[in-house]
Amino acid sequence: MSLARIHGWQDVEAEVLRRIHRRDWAPGEIIPTEADLAQEFGCARATVNRALRAVAEAGLLDRRRKAGTRVALHPVRKATLEIPMIRADVEGSGRRHGYRLIRSDIGEAPDHVRHAMGGAVNTDLLHILALHFADARPFVIEDRWVNPATVPAIAKADLTAISANEWLLTHAPYTGGDIVFSAQPASESQADLLECALNAALFTIHRTTWDHDTAITHVRLTYAPGHALRTTL
Amino acid sequence: MSLARIHGWQDVEAEVLRRIHRRDWAPGEIIPTEADLAQEFGCARATVNRALRAVAEAGLLDRRRKAGTRVALHPVRKATLEIPMIRADVEGSGRRHGYRLIRSDIGEAPDHVRHAMGGAVNTDLLHILALHFADARPFVIEDRWVNPATVPAIAKADLTAISANEWLLTHAPYTGGDIVFSAQPASESQADLLECALNAALFTIHRTTWDHDTAITHVRLTYAPGHALRTTL
DNA sequence: CAGTGGTCTAGACCACAGG
DNA sequence: CTGTGGTCTAGACCACTGG
């Protein structure tokens, strides 16, 4: 009847997943309590808890005190995407990374940038425009605004040798961030930099990173045509 | 000196994060062992383990047996994005969801679909083309291929009343999936359905879901101009 | 109020990999 | 071989919330 013995919490997790997929436990249905499962599997309740917590984090179970644990009606599973450095991204696909700083100056940010950075940014911001290459072909435009008050050391960085993207990742600790993915038509200047047609469909990422409640930087990454972001469920 | 007392693992986590952000523990540096921290915080080692595991999952720590725990050099943080049902997505933003089935037939899939579904799909596939609306405006085109062998019951579903997206999410358990995000220019038929200009930049998702090693379905979601996908770090 | 999950503890053994 | 994280256990108390 029962197959391999239950040893660790991963075995419990696998068995729970199997029962969900086989519909032994149907969506919306309540499953046995931790104590009951612990007795059935012959392990400690803590082990069952570890397993059920993992499955719940994956979105397949809803757990509430007193109400018990139910199989999720709508398995809203979560894809986790890793946000690497641009250089690591390029080199990870076996291509050579190149980089050119186009402009770096200080000034007042446009409204949409101020808004994205919380509006509380009163000082002038450092504006950086740079182009990354993959095997000598344009890869992505990095259009970035930095709040120098949060990372004063960036004034001393040589941004012609190391990209702001990389410098910030290794020098500026952040506590959180917002990310927006979208598709945008290539503007005239973007088409020029990326060597593509005007109004070409470009994959775009807007990202703001925060140190608690103050914005560190806001960046718009505009990728050359054909770029795709892959992940797994 | 020390502030609030350490009660639970979340307190330990917060303190660890504080030390990382304050650079008390610099990137690449080794931090004390679980046993040492447990003694310092006056709690059990299991509690410290729980906290450090959480921080490591967030990508800020690298843990290896015998080698100890180090602060990550490149904090490759992971964004987790939720993949909701289309209807829930629309209604979640306060709009009314509409849906129209455009075509549903059975036939041989084109090569790129067969490839995405693992190639091992020999049977004919169910092809579904549908349009979703948000407040009567076109929202997204759902262009889907389903392997009926994996979900025979779909033959009896009334796909004019419920979208294949929703039917599959509630009737077809899956164990994994691949997702690709990109930007694509609107084709003539897409521009027609979405009521946008030809070659407009459209946010596109290709998704294949699997039951173990067999593909259940492959879908291309082509969103109307202006659509964006948001998430948080 | 009482049932359920959430967590802590002290101790133990194990698995892995550095030296 | 030895130190470190990974995990299990048995028991306990707590926090939340449904009835």
The residues facing B214 across adjacent strands are B211
User: Are A132 and A158 contacting, i.e. CB atoms less than 8 angstroms apart?
Assistant: no
User: Are A73 and A57 contacting, i.e. CB atoms less than 8 angstroms apart?
Assistant: no
Mark which residues 106-125 of B lie under 8 Å from A by CB.
none
Q: Which among A20, A80, A232 has the least Cβ separation from residue B173?
A: A20
Residue with tokens 């879908």: B219
Residue A170's pLDDT band (cuts 50, 70, 90): confident
CA angle A210, A215, A216 (to 5 degrees): 80
How many Å does it take to go from CA B3 to C1' D2? 36
Beta pairing, strands B68-71 & B228-232: unpaired
Each residue's pLDDT tens digit, B89-140: 899 889 999 999 999 999 988 989 998 898 766 678 999 999 999 998 999 9
User: B130-143 burial by CB neighbour count: b if 16+ within 10 A, else e?
Assistant: bbbbbeeebbbbbb
What is the number of other CB atoms lying within 10 angstroms of the CB of residue A60?
A: 21
Task: Say whether pLDDT at A207 is over 70.
Answer: yes
Establish if A83 touches chain B: CB-CB under 8 angstroms: yes
- Amino acid B1: pLDDT: 46
Each residue's pLDDT tens digit, B47-58: 999 999 999 998
Establish if B19 touches chain A: CB-CB under 8 angstroms: no
Q: Residue B66 burial by CB count (10 A; 0-12/13-18/19+): exposed, middle or buried? A: exposed
How many Å does it take to go from CA A192 to C1' D17? 60
Poorest-pLDDT segment among A2-6, B15-19, B47-51, B82-86: A2-6
Scanning residues 16 through 75 of protein chain A, those with a beta carbon under 7 Å from any atom of strand C turn out to be 33-35, 45-46, 49, 52-53, 63-69
Each residue's pLDDT tens digit, B193-226: 999 999 999 999 999 999 888 999 999 999 999 9
Task: Say whether pLDDT at A160 is over 60.
Answer: yes
User: Are B24 and B15 contacting, i.e. CB atoms less than 8 angstroms apart?
Assistant: no
What is the number of other CB atoms lying within 10 angstroms of the CB of residue A104?
A: 15
Residues of A in contact with B27 (CB under 8 A): 170
